[in-house]
Amino acid sequence: MHMNMLLQNIPAFETIATAWLKTGIQAFGLWVDSRYQQVWPPSNTITTVAFRAPLVVNGQAIGELHIASDRQNCSQERLDADAGLLAALLQYEHNVHLLTDELIDCQDQLVTLYDIWTSMGQHGDLTALMQSLMREVVRLTKTSNAWISFASGLGVQHIITHGFVPISEQMLRSIQTNQFALFTKHDPICQHLDIVNLLWMPITIRSVIIAGGLGICNKTGEFSATDIKFVQAICEHISLQLEQQMLYQESLAKAQMESELALAQRVQQRLLSTPLPSVADIQLTAHAKPARIIGGDFYDVLQRPDGSVAIMVGDVVGKGVAAALLMMLSRTALRNAALATHDPAAILERTNMDLYDDLTTVGVFITVFVAIYHPKTHMLWYANAGHAPVLIFRNQQTQLLEADCPPIGVLPQLCAGSHAQIMNPGDILIGATDGFNETHNQYQEMFGYQRLCQLLTQHHELSATALCNLFFQQVEAFGNSCVQEDDRTMIILKTNP
Amino acid sequence: MNRRLDPAYKTEILYLEGRFDVHSLIQLRTWQPNATMPHIILELSQVNFVDSAALAWMVRLNKNVSNIQGSLTICGLQQPVQIILELTRLDRVLSLTETLDQALAKVGEY
DSSP for B42-68, written as a single string = EEEEEEEEE-HHHHHHHHHHHHHHHHT
In chain A, whose CA is at the least distance from the CA of B80?
A: A448
CA distance A72 to A80: 16
* Interface contact A406-B53, CB threshold 8 A: no
In chain B, whose CA is at the least distance from the CA of A369?
A: B88
CA distance A187 to A173: 17
In chain B, whose CA is at the least distance from the CA of A360?
A: B60
* Interface contact B86-A364, CB threshold 8 A: no
Which residues have C-beta within 8 Å of that of residue A232, sequence separation ≥ 6?
Answer: A180, A201
Does A218 score more than 80 pLDDT? no
* Interface contact A406-B52, CB threshold 8 A: no
Does A18 score more than 70 pLDDT? yes
Distance between terminal CA atoms of chain A? 113
> Which of A399, A403, A400, A371 has the alpha carbon at shortest distance from A386?
A403
In chain B, whose CA is at the least distance from the CA of A365?
A: B56
Helix and strand counts by DSSP (H, E) for chain B: 3, 5
| pLDDT score of B90 | 92
CA atoms within 13 A on the CB side of A375: 19
CA distance A490 to A439: 14
In chain A, whose CA is at the least distance from the CA of B54?
A: A317
Which residues have C-beta within 8 Å of that of residue A170, sequence separation ≥ 6?
Answer: none
CA distance A348 to A343: 9
CA distance A359 to A296: 14
Does A186 score more than 90 pLDDT? no
The answer, for B23 touching chain A at a CB cutoff of 8 Å, is: no
Is the CB of residue A5 less than 8 Å from the CB of residue A94? yes
Summary mean pLDDT of chain A: 86
β pairing state of A397-400 and B71-75: unpaired
CA distance A202 to A192: 22
CA distance A358 to A416: 20
The answer, for A386 touching chain B at a CB cutoff of 8 Å, is: yes
CA distance A83 to A97: 21
Q: Give the H/E segment covering residue A473.
A: helix A464-478
CATH architecture of A275-495: 4-Layer Sandwich (3.60)
Write the burial class of residue B28 (CB in 10 Å: 0-12 exposed, 13-18 middle, 19+ buried).
Answer: middle
> Which of A76, A25, A27 has the alpha carbon at shortest distance from A54?
A76
- Domain hosting B16: range is 2-109
CA distance A408 to A420: 21
Write the burial class of residue A402 (CB in 10 Å: 0-12 exposed, 13-18 middle, 19+ buried).
Answer: middle
Domain positions in chain A? 2-102, 123-248, 275-495
Q: Would you place residue A296 in the very low, low, confident or very high pLDDT band (cuts 50, 70, 90)?
A: confident
Interfacial A residues in 457-486 facing B (CB < 8 Å):
486
Strand ranges across the sheet with A390-394 = A282-289, A488-495, A428-432, A390-394, A397-400
pLDDT (tens digit per residue) in A121-179: 665 677 777 888 888 888 888 888 888 877 766 666 677 788 776 666 666 666 656 67
Q: Which of A187-191, A210-214, A368-372 has the highest mean pLDDT?
A: A368-372
Q: Would you place residue A287 in the very low, low, confident or very high pLDDT band (cuts 50, 70, 90)?
A: very high
Rounded to a whole number of angstroms, the distance from the CA of B80 to the nearest CA of chain A is 10
Interfacial A residues in 307-336 facing B (CB < 8 Å):
315, 317-318
pLDDT (tens digit per residue) in A67-91: 998 877 668 899 999 999 999 999 8
The answer, for A446 touching chain B at a CB cutoff of 8 Å, is: yes
| pLDDT score of A397 | 95
- Report the residue of A315, A317, A438 to disrupt the B interface, i.e. the one with the largest count of B CBs within 10 Å: A317
Does A21 score more than 70 pLDDT? yes
User: With b meaning 16 or more CB within 10 Å and e meaning fewer, what string describes A56-85?
Assistant: bbeeeebbbbbbbbeeeebeeeebeebbee
| pLDDT score of A165 | 67
Is the CB of residue A69 less than 8 Å from the CB of residue A79? no
Handedness of CA B76, B73, B97, B110 (dihedral sign): negative
| pLDDT score of B94 | 94
Indicate the DSSP class of residue A223.
-
Domains held by chain B: number: 1
Secondary structure class of A489 (helix, strand, coil):
strand
* Interface contact A317-B49, CB threshold 8 A: no
* Interface contact A315-B88, CB threshold 8 A: no
pLDDT (tens digit per residue) in A311-339: 999 998 866 677 788 888 899 999 999 99
* Interface contact B93-A387, CB threshold 8 A: no
> Which of A219, A311, A289, A333 has the alpha carbon at shortest distance from A484?
A289
Indicate the DSSP class of residue B24.
G
CA distance A205 to A181: 18
Question: What is the full DSSP assignment across A116-169?
Answer: HHHHGGG-S-HHHHHHHHHHHHHHHHT-SEEEEEE-TTSSS-SEEEES-----H
> What are the residue ranges in chain B where pLDDT is below 70?
none
CA distance B31 to B25: 10
Secondary structure class of B103 (helix, strand, coil):
helix
> Which of A350, A422, A336, A436 has the alpha carbon at shortest distance from A390?
A436
The answer, for B29 touching chain A at a CB cutoff of 8 Å, is: no
* Interface contact A446-B49, CB threshold 8 A: yes
CA distance A251 to A219: 41
The answer, for A434 touching chain B at a CB cutoff of 8 Å, is: yes
CATH code of domain A123-248: 3.30.450.40
Q: Give the pLDDT mean for A259-272.
A: 78
β pairing state of A488-495 and B2-6: unpaired
Could you tell me the CATH number of the domain that includes residue B105?
3.30.750.24
ipTM score: 0.82
- Which residues in chain A are contacts of B56 at CB distance < 8 A? 317-318, 363-365
The answer, for B110 touching chain A at a CB cutoff of 8 Å, is: no
Does A211 score more than 80 pLDDT? no
The answer, for B84 touching chain A at a CB cutoff of 8 Å, is: yes
* Interface contact A405-B89, CB threshold 8 A: yes
Residue type, A179: Q
- Report the residue of A365, A410, A413, A415 to disrupt the B interface, i.e. the one with the largest count of B CBs within 10 Å: A410
What count of residues does chain A have? Answer: 497
| pLDDT score of A464 | 96
> Rg for chain B (alpha carbons), in Å?
13
Residue A371's beta-bridge partner residues? A311, A382
Residue A52's beta-bridge partner residues? A66
Distance between terminal CA atoms of chain B? 26
The answer, for B48 touching chain A at a CB cutoff of 8 Å, is: no
Q: Give the H/E segment covering residue A289.
A: strand A282-289
- Which residues in chain A are contacts of B49 at CB distance < 8 A? 438, 446
| pLDDT score of A169 | 64
